[in-house]
Structure 1
């Protein structure tokens, strides 16, 4: 691998807080000595930092969504297991009732009947030891009754804990998303007051008004199919966690583009970067997926002639953008599906 993803959500939340508290120049605090107005270079730097932060949060959001989907599948599986356990529970309970009915006809009716009314089923183990008049097989039935009940409770607890953790994770990322998007919008508005081009969008182009963008390069085969799909989505809104058809995030677009070519690739930038066919910068070809930022928060589809198609960030649309100067400097690796 060319790079590894290391920052965690806790660091991200602290970083976002710092950007919002210290980097929002559009609403300066009323202080005795006014802070100097930020320079264009300082605003551009803030935008670059926030764009990287936003991109990374999107991928963590995508991972959290995958975790929630996995948790939902686990809950369904556990529900099915619980159904089986309940059947076992009811069967064993019937056996215990039969034992109780039989014990009422014996000289010691209370010893078995009380097993139906204990608060903690595990107490049956202790009581079973006192049922000396029962055969070993009958005592084992009582113990199985307690074990089945304990399994049922454990499975329910596991399902609840897994799902709640996944939901809490998504909520935290949603809050972080709102913070960084607000800060990014403020800085981009401030940058618009300066002359010149936003370095993160240099060379950006959308489809001609009223027309679909058309790829005219030399790619063929699966790469051509993937690029044609990406071009057909130019102008479609960026969407957090989006996988189409009405909105995409960066890795959602690369995944959908290659799916259109009949090639299945993973969902997030992190998992896409784990694909085996690594490509050096000097060897990239149309159709390759390019990855950016040290923690792999962003990617796009190379289309040739120093250009890529990507889903940039919230509030923007899918576009073709020039790699030099900004994006080339952020490049960390490429993969060929």
Structure 2
């Protein structure tokens, strides 16, 4: 026997509408945090904002250094591609000359009519003169063969150059795509940091920008001097006049804005500042922090002298220029200009003496 089921009571239309409205309101409350358990952003304290912003800036700086490195590779690839294209153009000019020579030989053979040499000798009124001409024709044939060889060689070399150019172009396109990815990462991190900072009052943002007060250190010029005040008021001599010149340049740039990817003269990122400082002293440094740490002799923290490059974080993503007295000049991030700061402000990763 089939089981007899009790029919379900039907809800009135008004009841169904009220139920749907209740569910919708509950969903809205959850989405907006009205019930206290929604997904609304938590209210961060100024300290928490600073910690989060610092983290975002560090992540952006990691991406910035990668961007800087890929940008250098892109420039090198563009230069190699240009050289390959120039060389291919020169070889194509030589190929055209060789083809013109072949055309001349072919035209001469056509005019001669292609008669058998023995028959030409029989028909000739002056056999001795003909034999001299035949010897000349043989030499001309040798020149023609050489021209053919040149054409073949030029064709092979041009094809090799074109193949190398295609490889370089693919590499260039790949690097350009990588640049776009890093740029997107950087701008995303910086936009998020700006959004967080916008939630603070002007007074709170000012306090965060001031840091711990060490950024208001003296900006006294050290131009033309090879010595700087070191801990204990002792005089620490810079390793060289070039190191002192780099420090002098950095002092002159205090207050310059931070702009990611910038190498001066009016704005800098961290490795752009150190590169520009040593460039002013006649020393060429690599573009990125990852390369700059290997641009000289490693020194310990206890050995630091003015002009040494000091690096921070496990990924070597930040660099400053040591100026003595436990201080460095560096380009921190978009929220702060080039400034003096203690080297213990960030996790110390190593140091390099360039000259």
| TM-score (normalised: structure 2) | 0.66
| Residue 284 of structure 1: how far off its partner (Å) | 2.2
Alignment of 1:55-70 (within 5 A): 55-70=61-76
Structure 2 vs 1, CA of residues 149 and 258 (structure 1 numbering), >3 Å: closer, same or farther? closer
Alignment of 1:179-198 (within 5 A): 179-190=188-199, 198=208
| Residue 219 of structure 1: how far off its partner (Å) | 4.6
CA distance in 1, matches of 2:75, 2:205: 46
| Residue 283 of structure 1: how far off its partner (Å) | 2.9
Q: What does residue 170 of structure 2 align with?
A: 161
| Residue 320 of structure 1: how far off its partner (Å) | 1.0
Q: What does residue 203 of structure 1 align with?
A: 213
Whether 2:305 is the aligned partner of 1:285: answer yes
User: 1:312·1:318 contact (CA, 8 Å) conserved in 2?
Assistant: yes
Q: What does residue 3 of structure 1 align with?
A: none
Structure ranking higher on relative contact order (CA contacts 8 Å, 6+ apart): 1
Whether 2:351 is the aligned partner of 1:334: answer yes
CA distance in 2, matches of 1:270, 1:316: 23
Q: Of the candidates 250, 269, 278, which is equivalent to residue 249 of structure 1?
A: 269
Structure 2 vs 1, CA of residues 98 and 149 (structure 1 numbering), >3 Å: closer, same or farther? farther
Whether 2:278 is the aligned partner of 1:271: answer no
Structure 2 vs 1, CA of residues 94 and 30 (structure 1 numbering), >3 Å: closer, same or farther? farther
Structure 2 vs 1, CA of residues 261 and 143 (structure 1 numbering), >3 Å: closer, same or farther? closer
Q: Which ranges in structure 2 are unaligned for 5 or more consecutive residues? A: 1-30, 115-143, 223-227, 230-234
| Residue 41 of structure 1: how far off its partner (Å) | 4.8
CA distance in 1, matches of 2:276, 2:145: 62
Superposed CA deviations along residues 277-330 of structure 1, whole A, max 9, x for unmatched, are: 212223323322110111111111122223221011124311112334x42xx1
| TM-score (normalised: structure 1) | 0.69
User: 2:237·2:305 contact (CA, 8 Å) conserved in 1?
Assistant: no
Structure 2 vs 1, CA of residues 305 and 84 (structure 1 numbering), >3 Å: closer, same or farther? same
CA distance in 2, matches of 1:156, 1:250: 34
Superposed CA deviations along residues 88-123 of structure 1, whole A, max 9, x for unmatched, are: 32133324535654676778xxxxxxxxxxxxxxxx
Q: Of the candidates 194, 214, 218, which is equivalent to residue 221 of structure 2?
A: 214
Superposed CA deviations along residues 31-58 of structure 1, whole A, max 9, x for unmatched, are: 5525432344543332232121111122
Whether 2:249 is the aligned partner of 1:229: answer yes
CA distance in 2, matches of 1:251, 1:145: 45
User: 1:259·1:265 contact (CA, 8 Å) conserved in 2?
Assistant: yes
User: 1:206·1:213 contact (CA, 8 Å) conserved in 2?
Assistant: no
| Residue 200 of structure 1: how far off its partner (Å) | 9.4
Q: What does residue 4 of structure 1 align with?
A: none
Structure 2 vs 1, CA of residues 255 and 73 (structure 1 numbering), >3 Å: closer, same or farther? same
Structure 2 vs 1, CA of residues 81 and 142 (structure 1 numbering), >3 Å: closer, same or farther? closer
CA distance in 1, matches of 2:87, 2:183: 33
Greater C-alpha radius of gyration: 2
Whether 2:90 is the aligned partner of 1:80: answer no
CA distance in 2, matches of 1:157, 1:196: 53
Q: Which moved more, 1:166-175 or 1:135-144?
A: 135-144
Whether 2:59 is the aligned partner of 1:53: answer yes
| Residue 75 of structure 1: how far off its partner (Å) | 2.4
Superposed CA deviations along residues 188-214 of structure 1, whole A, max 9, x for unmatched, are: 344657699549933343588xxx643
CA distance in 2, matches of 1:78, 1:200: 52
| Residue 334 of structure 1: how far off its partner (Å) | 1.0
Q: What does residue 128 of structure 2 align with?
A: none
What is the DSSP-based 3-state SS (H/G/I as helix, E as strand, rest coil) of the residue aligned with 2:182? helix
Q: What does residue 30 of structure 1 align with?
A: 32
